[in-house]
Structure 1
Amino acid sequence: MALKFRLQRHGCKGRPFYHVVVTDSRNARNGRFIERVGHYNPMTDLSIVELKTDRMAHWYGVGCRPTDTVANLLKIKKIDLAEIAKA
C-alpha cells in the first residue's frame, strides 16, 4: 500500500478549501482517507496552512510521502519531515 499526504478539496465552486490527509494513493481525491493531518485555505489574504507536524512525522516514518503540492506547502512552512521523524 503506497501512502500519500494529499489535498482533499472542499468548499463551494470558486472558493476552495483543502484538507491535508493521509490516504492510499489508489483512492480517489475526495475518497476514503486514513487520517486528517491539517488544512489549507488559499482564499484568505495570507493563505492559511495548519499542519499537525507530529502526526505527519509519524506517517512519514511509516512510509507516507507527500505529493508535489503538499511538499510545496511544507516548504512554505519550512518543515522538514525527515528531520522531525529522526528525532
Structure 2
Amino acid sequence: MVRIRLARLGKRNDPFYRIVAIEKHKKNKGKFLEIIGHWFPKTGETKIDKKLYEKWLSQGAKPSEKVIQLIG
C-alpha cells in the first residue's frame, strides 16, 4: 500500500520536508516512488504538484494526517 507522507530533510533546527509517495512499510528516508511537493515550516510555504497528488490518490494512495492538513 502506498502512502503520501512527509520525509524530513535539512539541518538541525532548520528542517524542511518533502511530500513523497512511498510504500507504507518503508522508512521515511527510504527509497520513495515520487516527490509530490515540499513544505518549509519556518516560512509556512507549501509547494505541491496537484496533478501528481491527484494521480496518486486515484491509484489508491492514502495521505497522512499532516499532508491532509497541508493540502486543505
Please give the TM-score of this superposition, normalised by the length of structure 1.
Answer: 0.80
CA RMSD of aligned residues (A): 0.6
The residue number in structure 1 matching 2:2 is 3
The residue number in structure 1 matching 2:67 is 70
Matches of 1:53 and 1:17, distance apart in 2: 19
Structure with the largest fraction of helix: 1
Structure with the largest fraction of strand: 2
Matches of 1:6 and 1:52, distance apart in 2: 14
Letter in structure 1 aligned against 2:47:
E
Q: How does 1:1-87 map to 2 (within 5 A)?
A: 2-44=1-43, 47-75=44-72
Q: Which has the higher contact order (CA 8 A, sep 6+)?
A: 2
Letter in structure 1 aligned against 2:67:
V
Q: Number of paired residues?
A: 72
Letter in structure 1 aligned against 2:2:
L
Stretches of structure 2 lacking an aligned partner (at least 5 in a row): none
Larger Rg: 1
Stretches of structure 1 lacking an aligned partner (at least 5 in a row): 76-87
Matches of 1:59 and 1:29, distance apart in 2: 18
**Structure 1 segments of 4+ aligned residues over 6 angstroms from their partners:** none
**What is the Cα deviation at residue 72 of structure 1?**
0.7
